[in-house]
Amino acid sequence: MIRRLDLGDRLAPFSRCLRCGGALATVPKAEIVDRLGPVTRARVDEFRRCLACDHLYWRGAHHGGLVAQVARIRGALGAGRRTSA
């Protein structure tokens, strides 16, 4: 469907909440530090928060795998595009 409607350029991974679909916005660590576990508090400095449900996101150990998966999906979408000759 994405390819058929040519929506590949409109994909915006990591911009919506996985729980509710709300938009994510950067949040200062100081605002949410009391909600973090000790390891996350010590190792992570950049966070995003869902504007709808307040769920927190950060680049954890699984982030690299997710980025690779998004790249594979984008590659598969690009493979089906027609090029002008």
Going from N- to C-terminal start, the domains of the chain cover 8-79
Radius of gyration of the chain (CA): 17
- At residue 63's C-alpha, the angle toward residues 68 and 36, to 5°, is 170
Per residue in 9-64, pLDDT tens? 667 789 999 999 999 999 999 999 999 999 999 999 999 999 999 999 999 888 89
Task: Provide the whole-model pTM.
Answer: 0.75
